[in-house]
Structure 1
Amino acid sequence: MNRWTLRTATSSYTVEVPEHGRWAELSAWGPIGVEDGPSPLAGHGRTPFRTAADAAPAEYLPFGLRPFGGAELDVRRPGGERGSWWTFAGERSADAGELRLAFADEQLGLEAELCYRVVPGTDVIRRWVELANTGEGDLLAHRLDSAAVNVPVSAGARLTYLVGQWVQEFRLEQVELERGGFALGSTQGVSGHEYAPWLAVQDSADADGPATPTWGVSLAWSGSWHIDAQVDSGRLLRVRAGREPHEGEVLLPAGSTLTTPHLLLAFSQEGLGGLARVWHAHERLESGERGLRPRPVLYNSWEATGFDVEQDGQLELAGIAASLGAELFVVDDGWFTDRPDDTAGLGDWEPDPAAFPDGFGAFVEKVRGLGLDFGLWVEPEAVSPGSRLLAEHPDWVYGIDGRPVTLIRNQLLLDLGREEVCAHVLSWLRKLLTDYPISYLKWDMNRPPTERGRRGDPLPRALDLDAGHVANYHRILSTLRREHPHVLVEGCAGGGGRADAAAVAATDVVWPSDNTGPQDRLAIQYGFLHAHAPQVMSSWVTDSAGYFDTRPRSLRFRFVTAMAGVLGIGADIRAWSAEERAEAAQWIARYKGWRETLHRGEVHLLGAPREDTCGVQYSAPDGSHEIVLAWNSGALGGLPLLPGRPDRLRLRGLDPAARYRDESTGVEYGAIHLTHAGLPCAWRPGFDADAVVLRRC
C-alpha cells in the first residue's frame, strides 16, 4: 500500500492507494498525529448491494467504478456508454507540500491527476484534478468535480452553510444530517446570493463541545457550482464539490487537458470560530503585499444622489467627506453618457460632458485637490439595449439564434468568453485608468446570464461558455492588477452575488450586500466573517433602515457596525447635522488608529446577532491589545430603568496571566475575569453599541 501525509500548520491529511490500485482513499484528516494508527475511515469490507468503491472513503472516483454512491467524474465518448474504469498510474510528485497521483483508463483514453498542495503557514490544503484526453477521439464530461472529502460522523453530521437572497446574503444556518443528502449551489454564472460555495462539517456528537473538531470546504470558482453532502449507512459523510457546466457537458478534445477549480480544505479544533480564523489567515497570506496596504476610508455618493450625478453636487459631497476624514471619494452609477436611470447607457463608458462641463479630468483633479483619492463604479460585463456598443456588435451578448432575449435590470450580459469582447473590455478599462488618476474601481454585475448561447455558433455546448466567461473575468482583473498595481478593486454583483474564494483573491475588497440597514447588516456581516477576513469586507454607514429589521439605530451603532470591516460612508452627509458630522469625524479618526488591528488581528466572533448582545473581538498581532466591537441587537425599551445587570461578552483567546486596562474608562480586568465573567455592556437608549480598546498592562 502506498501512503502519503501532507502536514499544514497544525493538521495532517493522509492519503493512501490500496493494493488493488483502483482509487485513492483518505486515511485520516485532523490534528497532527491523527494519522498515527489505523484509519478511522476504513470499513470492515462488507458492502451488500453496493460495490467496494461505493463504501470507500475515496478521494475521487469516476462513474463506472462508483455506480451507486455518487461519482465525482462522469465521462463518455460521444455516442458511447458512460463510465470510466481506471487504475493507479503512479506518483507524479510527492514532497512536504505537494502531492500528485495519476490514474489512467487506457481503453477510454483518459488520465486524471489528483493534485494536492499545502498553503504554507495555514491549515488549508488546495485540491484539484487535471484531466487529460490521451486518446484519439473526443470525450464529454457530464460531471467534473474538483474533489471529494470524507469525514466519519458517529452521530450524523452537523452542516453549517451560508444562505440568503438579494439584500439578505450570508445568513448562517445549520442542518443535522443523520442519513441521506444535502445539496446547494448556483446556476447563475456566479456564486449567487442564495448560497455561498462554502460548507463547514462537524460530528453531531461533538458539535456543542468547547473544542469541536471542524472541517471546512470552500470552492474557488467564480461561475456556476455545486456542493453536495451524503451520509451513508456506514456513518461516513462524503462532500463533493465542483463547477456546474451550464451546457450540461464539457468537451474534452483529443490531446487536450482540463483543470478543475481549486477546492480549499480547512481544519480547526476550535469550532466554527477557529475555522473562520483558518480562512482569515489563508486570505491574508494569499493577498501578499497588497493585503498589507491600508484600505482607505471611502465615501460613495450612490445613496446621496442615485443617478443624478453632476459636478457641483459631487464636489459638495466630496468636500464634506474630506472634512470628516474620508480618504477616498467614489462616484457610483450615473457618471457616464446617456444614463438618466437604469434603462440606458451601459456599454458606452464615456464621462457625461453635460454632468461635467469643465471636463471629467478637471473634476477628478478638484476631488483630489481636497486630499481625497478618486474611484469609480463600473459594470464591464453589462450592456444596455440602446447602447452604441450593442448596435455595433449585436452578437457580443449571450443569445440563441431565433429565440427572444430576457432583460434583467433592463440590461443584457456580454459574452465575456469571446476574445474580442474581452479585448474590448480590457481596452476601455485601460484607457479609463490611463486617462484619469483613478485609484479605486467598484466592479459590479447586476444580472445573471440567460439565453446562454453564442450567436451564429452551431455548437454552443462545445464552447464551455461558463468557463470562458470566468477565465476572462479573472484575466482582466489580473491584467489590471499587473499594469495598475496602485488601483484597488472592489468586487460586487448586486451585493454579495460573487464572493467565492477565487473572486475574493482577485479583488481587494468585496461588497457583501446592497442592504446597508444596520440591524440587517449585522447578521450579513456575522455570516460573512465565518468565511472571509475583515479586511475584504466593505461596509458603509448610511441612513438606510434596511429591509427586514427596520428598528432605528444610533449613528454610533452604524459606525461600530461598519468598522467591523473596511469602513465606508454612503449616507447623504449634506443632511447630517453639525453634531452628527462631528461624531462621524471622531469615529473615523478612531477607526484609522485601530485599522491595523481590525484588519490584521485574530478574530473571535462573540455571540450572534439573534442574541440581545453580540460582538467581535480583534486581537492585535503583537498581543499588545484587544479591540471589542459590541452591539445591542435586542430591544432597548425599559433599559436601564428596570432592575437588572449589564449584559456581558465573554472574551476569548487571552493569555490567562495577562491583565488589561480599558483605554476609555481606566478600569482594569484580569484575563480570567474577561474570559469567564465577561466584558460588561451597559446598554441604554442612545447607547446601543460600543467599541472598547483593552491595553495589556
Structure 2
Amino acid sequence: MTPHEGPPVPAPAAGPWILHTEHTVYAVTLSPDGSRPELAAWGPHGAEDGPSPLDWPGRTHFITPADAAPAEYIPQGMRPFTGADLIAQRPGEERGVWWSFTGATTEDGGALRLTFTDELLGLDVAVCYETVPGTDVVRRWTELTCTGESELRLERFDSGAINVPVRKAARLTYLTGQWSQEFQLTELDLARGRFEIASTQGVPGHAYAPWLAVQDAALPAEGDTPTYGIALEWPGNWHITADAEPGGAVRVRAGRLPHEGALRLAPGDTLTTPVLACAFSAEGRDGLARVWHRHERRLAGERLGRTRKVLYNSWEATGFDVSAADQLQLARTAAGLGVELFVVDDGWFPGRHDDTGGLGDWRPDQVSFPDGFEAFIAGVRDLGMDFGLWIEPEAVSPASELYARHPEWVYRIEGRPATLVRNQLLLDLGREDVQRFVLDTLDELLGTYDISYLKWDMNRPPTERGRPGAGPAEALDLDAAHVRGYLRVLDHLRSHHPDVTVEGCAGGGGRIEHATLARTDVVWPSDNTAPLDRLSIQYGYLHAHAPHTMSSWVTDAPGVFDPRPRSLAFRFVTAMAGVLGVGADIRRWSEEQRAEAAGWIARYKELRDVVHHGETRLLGTPADATCGVQYARDDGSRIAVLAWSTGPLDGAPLVPGRPARLRLRGLDPAARYRDAESGGEYSGAYLLHSGLPFAWTAAHDAGIAVLDRR
C-alpha cells in the first residue's frame, strides 16, 4: 500500500485520535497516566460519541492497571502479568521496557504515528496506523529503533493488539486444516484463558491461516452482529494470540515468530514489524468477508482489471511424463473446450522423471521437446491460447546440477544430517547470491520464451534452518531474510515482467496472506480438487479472501474426506466460484462430457466479471442440504447465484416435490429481477423472504441463476 500523502502534522497531545474509514471509526487515546495507547472506540461512524464500552475505573486487585487496560501496544515491564506485545532487553540484563510518550503526528487521509522512548534501555518505539481508502480496514505496524550504544535483544515484537468488548465470552472464528484440507471454518467460544494459533514452518502453513474473526458469543454469528477481524501480512513464521482478560474484553495480538526465538537489534538499526490489517463489519462474518474482499481488490491495484483466463493445467493428466506430443494433444482438446491458457506443470526440465531429481536445473528438457521449446510454445499459441509454466524456484534436488555446484546454498546445520521432504531441499533465499540465481533464472525463462503465466510452487518447509559461518543465529533473522528474498523476486516479476500473470502456491494453500496476494494475481487454495472437499475449502477461503484470487480446477479426483460422487456440473459450478481452470485428463472425457464442459466454460466467461468484481454473500454452508454463493454488481443490476445440492445423493428434497430455496440478501425489495435463462421474474421482496428455488434431482445437483434487475 502507498502511505498517505501529505506531511506529518502535530496531533492532540493525549488524544483521542480518530481514524475514519469508509463506514467506521477507530479511536485511540492515551491512558490517564499518559503511559500507553488505548482503544477508545471501534465501530460504525458515531461509535466514538459516548463513553467507551471498554471504559473502566482503573482500580485493580493483584494485577496492575496496565494488565487490565485495553492497550493498543504495551511492553513487558509496564504490563508484567497478562501478556505484552514487546519484550526487549540488553543482552545479559533484565527484560523489560519502561517508556515515556514523546509525541503524535497525523497525516492527511487517515494516518497516525505515536512515539515512545525508553532512554535507559536505548529504544524508540513508533506505533503506526493507516486507513485504506475505500475500505473499512486500518493497517497497523510498529517500528523499533535501537538508540543506545549497546545492541538490544528482542524476544517478542508483535505488530499490534486489538481489544473487543464482550459479555460472557468471545466467539473466535479461525481457519484450520492440513494439506489437502485447508481453510476449514472453525469456531471456539473463549470465556477465560488464552487461545493461540501459529506457524513455524517458514510460511503461514496449512494448519492455520494468519486470520481471525472476533464476535460477542452472546450474539448470532451472522446478521447485524458487530464483527472484528485481523489478518497478518507476513509470509513467514507468525502467531495470533487471544486472551479473555478480566473486565469483559478479549485482547488479540499478532506478529512474527523469529526462527531463532529472539532477534538482535544493532545500534542505529530499525526493525519494522509486519502489517496487521484490522477490519470491522456490523453485518456479521459474511459482512466481514466483503470488507476483506474490497481490501484485496485494492491490493490488486490496476491488475484487478486484468482478465483471469480459463486455464488448463496438465499435471493430473500426465504427471512427470511430459512430452511435446502429449502436451499438444491435450492443448488441442483444451482449445476445443474454449480454454484460453495452457499451463505445463512439473516435469518439463531435465532429470525430472519423478520427484527425486531435476529441481534447480530450470531449462527445458531437450528429450521431451525434441523440436525445441520455442516450437512447442508456438504450437500452443497457434491454437489461440496463452502459455504458462510451473516452477519451484526455492527448491533443489540433491541429484541436480545446481546442488552439485552450490551445496552451500541450502539451509543446513554444520555437522548435522539434512532432512529430505518430498525428496528435496530448500534454498536459503535470504542469501543475495541465491536471490540473484532465482532472478536470473526467471529473467532467462521469461525473456527467452513466450510465457505469459507462471505458477510458483513451494512443496516443503525449511527444516535444518541454518547458515554455517554467517554469525550468531539471533543476528541472522533467517525467517525475515527469506521473506525479503521471496518478496524481492515477486516485486521483480511485477516490475520487469508486468504482462506475466503469477499464481502463488505452496503445496496448495500453505502461503496465502496479504503480502503474497498483493504481488500475485491468483493463488492455489488446495491440492484437493474433489467436489465436496473443495466446496468446503472454498467456503472457508471466501470468508477471508476475494473470489478473484481463488484459482479452482475441474478434475476427476475422487473425494478424500467426503467421497460422495458429484456430477461434472457440480465440479464446474464449484470451480466457477473463483477463477476457473480445468485439470482433468480431458483426452479420456466422452464427447458428451466435452460438449458439457464447453458450455460451462462459455457461461463462465459471461459471468466472471460479476464473480471477480462483485459483492459476495455466502448463502448457507456446505453442511446444509443446499448452499450457494451470491455475487452482485456494485450497482445491483446483475446478480449471479451459484448453488449446490450437498444433501442426499439422489437429490431428494426434505419434502418430495418441493424445491430447495436460497434466500438472497442485499437486494432492493421493491425492484423486480428477471431470470436471464428462464425468463421468469421475481420481486426483490420475494427473493429476500421466500428465496430462489432450486429443484434438485439425481442428475441435477448444481446450478447457476443469473438475475437482471428490471
Matching residue within 113, 117, 141 for 2:126: 113
Describe the SS at the equivalent of 1:371.
coil
CA contact (8 A) 1:170 1:524 kept: yes
After superposition, residues 397-546 of structure 1 pair within 5 angstroms as 397-546=410-559
The residue that corresponds to 1:135 in the other structure is 148
Offset at residue 223 of structure 1 (A): 0.1
TM-aligned CA deviation for residue 320 of structure 1: 0.6
Q: CA deviation at 1:639?
A: 2.6
Q: 1:417 and 1:641, CA in 2 relative to 1: closer, same or farther beyond 3 A?
A: closer
Partners of 2:501 and 2:473 in 1: CA distance: 35
The equivalent of 1:56 in structure 2 is 69
1:43–1:55 CA contact under 8 A, matched in 2: no
Q: Deviations over 1:356-389 (max 9, x none)?
A: 0000111111111111100000000000011111
Show the counterpart of 1:145.
158
Aligned to 1:25: 38
Map Cα deviations across residues 655-693 of structure 1 (whole Å, 9 max, x no partner). 111111111111111111101110011000110000110
- Contact 1:24 1:58 survives alignment (8 Å): yes
Say whether residues 1:569 and 2:582 are aligned partners: yes
CA deviation vs aligned residue, 1:473-511 (integer Å, no higher than 9, x gap): 001000111011000100000000001121111111010
In structure 2, the residue matched to 1:36 is 49
Q: What's the offset of the Cα at 1:642?
A: 7.1
Superposed counterparts of 1:329-408, under 5 Å:
329-408=342-421
Match of 2:105 among 77, 92, 109: 92
Matches within 5 A, 1:225-374: 225-374=238-387
Q: 1:456 to 1:613 in 2, by over 3 A?
A: same
SS in 1 for 2:403: helix
From the superposition, tell whether residues 536 and 209 of structure 1 become closer, same or farther in structure 2 (CA, over 3 Å): closer
1:633-652 equivalent positions in 2, closer than 5 A: 633-637=646-650, 639=652, 643-652=656-665
Moved more, 498-507 or 686-695: 498-507
2-structure distance, mates of 1:641, 1:283 = 39
1:321 maps to a residue whose letter is A
Question: Deviation of residue 19 (structure 1)?
Answer: 4.3
Q: Give the AA of the match of 1:461.
A: E
Instruction: State the alpha-carbon separation in 2 of the partners of residues 338 and 456 from structure 1.
Output: 32
Aligned partner of 1:685 in structure 2 is 698
Contact kept in structure 1, 2:222 and 2:285, CA below 8 Å: no
Cα offsets for 1:386-411 (capped at 9, x unmatched): 11111111110001101111000000
Q: For 1:17 and 1:397, locate their aligned partners in 2 and report how far apart those are by CA, in whole Å.
A: 48
Percentage identity across paired residues of the two chains: 64
Displacement over 4 Å in runs of 4+: none
* Structure 1 residue 3, shift from structure 2 partner: 1.5
Deviation at 1:641, TM superposition (A): 11
| C-alpha deviation, 1:93, in angstroms | 3.1
Q: State how far apart, in whole Å, the 1-side matches of 2:387 and 2:15 are.
A: 57
The answer to whether the 8 A contact 2:651-2:701 is kept is: no
Q: Are the counterparts in 2 of residues 330 and 374 from structure 1 also a CA contact under 8 Å?
A: yes
Matched, 1:619 2:640: no
Distance change (3 Å), C-alpha of 1:79 and 1:641: closer
Q: Is the 8 A contact 1:158 1:207 kept in 2?
A: no
Aligned to 1:654: 667
Residue 592 of structure 1 is matched in structure 2 by 605
Distance 1:609 1:88 in 2: 50
The whole-number CA distance in structure 1 between the counterparts of 2:445 and 2:578 is 28
In structure 2, how many angstroms separate the alpha carbons of the residues matched to 1:19 and 1:668?
61
Residue 170 (structure 1) aligned to one of 180, 183, 195: 183
Question: Secondary structure of 1:506's match?
Answer: coil
Q: Which residue of 2 aligns with 1:663?
A: 676
- Tell me the CA shift for residue 636 of structure 1: 2.8
Tell me, in whole angstroms, the C-alpha distance in 2 between the residues paired with 1:638 and 1:41: 50
Q: Cα gap change, 1:320/1:417 in structure 2, threshold over 3 Å: closer, same or farther?
A: same
CA distance in structure 1 between the partners assigned to 2:703 and 2:495 by the alignment: 40
Instruction: Answer yes or no: is the 8 Å Cα contact 2:221–2:285 preserved in 1.
Output: no
Distance 1:107 1:433 in 2: 53
AA matched with 1:430? D
The TM-score, its normalising length taken from structure 2, stands at: 0.97
> What's the CA shift for 1:141?
0.4
Residues in 1 aligned to 2:530 and 2:44: alpha-carbon distance in whole angstroms: 41
2:309 aligned partner, one-letter code = P
1:190 aligns with 2:203: yes
Q: CA deviation at 1:458?
A: 4.0
**CA deviation after TM superposition for structure 1 residue 209, in Å:** 6.1
Shift of 1:643: 2.7
Change (3 A) 1:458 1:4: closer
Once the two structures are superposed, residues 161-184 of structure 1 have per-residue CA deviations (whole angstroms, 9 ceiling, x without a partner) of 000000000000101111111110
Q: How far apart in 2 are the matches of 1:229 and 1:483? A: 41
Amino acid at match of 1:404: P
Q: Which amino acid aligns with 1:261?
A: P
Alpha-carbon spacing, 1:484–1:390, altered in 2? closer, same or farther (3 Å): same
Distance in 1 (CA, whole Å) between partners of 2:120 and 2:155 is 19
| Alpha-carbon distance in 2 for matches of 1:446, 1:459 | 28
Conserved 8 A contact 1:176-1:204: yes
What TM-score do you get using the length of structure 1 for normalisation?
Answer: 0.99
Aligned partners of 1:102, 1:637: CA distance in 2, in Å?
A: 64
The residue identity in structure 1 corresponding to 2:175 is L
SS of 2:17 mapped into structure 1:
strand
Q: Aligned match of 1:124 in 124, 137, 142? A: 137
Q: Does 1:46 align with 2:59?
A: yes
Residue type of the partner of 2:664?
L
User: How many angstroms does 1:208 deviate by?
Assistant: 4.5
- Whichever residue aligns with residue 51 of structure 1, its letter is T
Name the SS for the 1:2 alignment partner.
coil
> Closer, same or farther in 2 for the Cα pair 1:261/1:208, shift >3 Å?
closer
Per-residue deviation, 1:44: 1.5
AA at the equivalent of 2:555: T
Q: Is contact 2:505-2:523 (8 Å) kept?
A: yes
CA contact (8 A) 2:645 2:651 kept: no
Aligned-partner residue type, residue 277 of structure 1: R
Superposed CA RMSD: 1.1
* Residue 158 of structure 1: how far off its partner (Å): 0.4
Which amino acid in 1 is paired with 2:672? R
Amino acid at match of 1:673: Y
Partners of 1:18 and 1:148 in 2: CA distance: 15
Matches of 2:230 and 2:363, distance apart in 1: 42
Alpha-carbon distance in 2 for matches of 1:593, 1:680: 22
Which residue is equivalent to 2:564? 551
Is residue 126–residue 142 contact of structure 2 (8 Å, CA) maintained in 1? yes
Change (3 A) 1:59 1:311: same
Q: Distance in 2 between matches of 1:640 and 1:35?
A: 49
The CA deviation string for residues 7-66 of structure 1, in whole angstroms up to 9 with x for no partner, is 000000000113422111000101110101111112121111111110110110111111
Secondary structure of 1:598's counterpart equals helix
